[in-house]
A and B are shown apart, each in its own frame.
Chain A
């Protein structure tokens, strides 16, 4: 089912005229006939959940926004998509920039923001041009600027490029960076809804979340809530990469089973060269990795579906998270130790260095994993890694500490035998990979959790 990407393949949809012809900016017209509170109510009814990773209900986030008299409020679009494996926002912004801008106008109107910012990842340099052009087109056609459609509502959208730091995707670090400071996450509380950009009430939302506001207005909140299943309403973009036949961005309505998603021709099209599925990270690099048997079926033996609840079934012991939708598939030839080392290196490089457990712990984990991968590890290193990740998780200012700890924890939890094999066969581990094993059967749950 395609809601966001309905017109993604129309020739010239990037430009205003084609977008308008295909039903664009209807949501803005509709929104201006409603009151801001009605729009917020509509979004609440839709059950839309934040698409940036945490899955927090958007309508609730909007209703938390403080509205003091005489203080401007801001909407910030988080387009700093830096998670390894996630590239859905890039697709949206590159091919459907007007969808984002339409969503931003509607959301700005609902929240009463006159200055709205798109904080975009520095490496997406060419998308900045696409967005700037789309904003200019929207402005020329009267959808932005002063007194939009004679409603008396003013709105400007500014695009701000980041400097290439993963941490600036965290909302408070993003706000600091947007203000022109060093991108260190702020200590919460106060939350951005009370004091955000320039100490003014701010809402920070992901690109996909804001784009989803458009179909919600077009079809109505209740109709949108009917798509999907349970509390996972609407459609979700997934960016698939790794060992699949058809990597790319897919829109799903969250009713598919994981097995269907990976192996059906409509979506990923199975694993290349007839290899077997080994493991998968279903929501971007920071969510726990799960082995094939736990990916396709929950610990209770039920089929796992592609939605927030089903993927999280079993907690971190046997489940994982929907996250931001970066679906990374690994076949039997992939080495989990090497993969975990790569992620640890990433988090070590991207830690902001503000709070001590994350600053020092990520580097330590990377060095140990490097030793293990290159055959210099000891058996005690595996327990040490477990202890380090436990001391980082939950003890840091922002979720980057958790994001660095979870992949390591999950890799040890499910693939401990592979780590041990690396220690016991230092020479062989350099030459070949561990391959499929009897991992997670029975499911190994460390007692120190």
Chain B
């Protein structure tokens, strides 16, 4: 293979060199940290995904070295490829932050916000997104949209009210399974995920739609209301499965396996898709060879209590704004907890105030 040309792209004043054809979002993911735009619909493993949720909008302040004109509108970073010398503004652009706040608000106005009874709570991308970019209150004063409840089989439960129509599950079924049995019906704000004439989804790999769903619209029926995800402990395990790689993540409490999911990387994307047998039927420890505790570093809630060996996201805020951030208040002056010289990832298990005592 011939040498691929490398493009230089500057995102929020940080320059990286990426192969030609990389999208802005993936270039930003190579940098990592807070300069990475959030993505609700883009999924690097699914071809054709992205561009729909509009949370990853960025401002291109310089098109390329050859054509330095800025792009007139904000662009979806997940579907825009980089050009040589491109300059992108993400969190340094007021316009982007304002638009993103608007998108989050739009995503939430019809979302039921039933997190207390939602199985996805704790690992929900919409929760993370609204925590990071949303407003504290709503300006929406109308009834939220509802749908007729639909049963799509014994293993997957569909809550259409929670859906943000990212189309990920449609792409998953299209690209992973023999036949796609569900899709989007209707249009506009009444568009819904549905199967044709109430068919149930049964396909050997259809369980993966649960993992790709960024919200609680598609959840595991075998795990339904059994436990909260942050009480269960993620453990990497494998088995010799004839249908898939058998590399999974078990969510356990004591010796009990509450649910089985695929392993996800730090962007919340599945590393290897797993089959339905592994996901729904192997719920006993004896089915699996345990590898050890999983390292989760992105989702704040489910990583509580699992600090050891986690990888910290890089912090670029000084580079982004070009100077050290001026803190309104240094928390360490008033609190003994979270002392900077104590590395959280070195603490075994949940942090306790004893861990931060001076004389320890």
Contact = CB atoms under 8 A, between A and B. Distances in A.
Interface string A395-426: 11100000000000000000000000000000
Interface string A284-311: 0000000000000000000000000000
Which of B52, B57, B188 counts the most A-chain CB atoms under 10 A from its CB?
Answer: B188
Nearest to A378: B141
Interface stretch (A26-34, A316-324, A361-369, A433-441): A361-369
A350 B184 CA distance: 15
Contacts of A357: 54, 102-103, 106
A355 B52 contact: yes
Contacts, number: 92
B99 interface: yes
A384 to B, nearest CB: 6
A356 B52 contact: yes
Contact of A364 (B52, B140, B164, B190): B140
Nearest to B76: A187
A191 B187 CA distance: 24
A360 B53 contact: no
A367 B145 CA distance: 12
A243 interface: no
A395 B106 CA distance: 12
A349 interface: yes
A167 B187 contact: yes
A395 B102 contact: yes
Contacts of A165: 187
A66 to B, nearest CB: 17
Contacts of A363: 110, 145, 188-189
Contacts of B52: 354-356, 397
A61 interface: no
Interface in A97-149: none
A350 to B, nearest CB: 7
Interface string A370-400: 0000000000000010001011101111000
B79 A187 contact: yes
A395 B57 contact: yes
A366 to B, nearest CB: 10
Interface residues of B, number: 35
A385 to B, nearest CB: 11
B189 A353 contact: yes
A394 B74 contact: yes
Which of A355, A388, A392 counts the most B-chain CB atoms under 10 A from its CB?
Answer: A355
A360 B189 contact: yes
A351 interface: yes
A359 B184 CA distance: 14
Contacts of B188: 348-353, 359, 362-363
A250 to B, nearest CB: 33
A182 interface: yes
B165 interface: yes
B64 to A, nearest CB: 14
B142 interface: yes
A357 B74 CA distance: 13
Contacts of A390: 102
Given A353-B189, A357-B54, A391 B106 contact: yes
Contacts of B142: 364, 367
Contacts of B74: 394-395
Nearest to B73: A394
A356 B99 contact: no
A402 to B, nearest CB: 10
Contacts of A356: 52-55, 103, 106-107, 164-165
Interface of A: 165, 167, 182, 187, 348-357, 359-364, 367, 384, 388, 390-392, 394-397
10 contacts: A187-B50, A187-B79, A350-B187, A354-B52, A356-B107, A364-B106, A391-B102, A394-B73, A395-B57, A395-B103
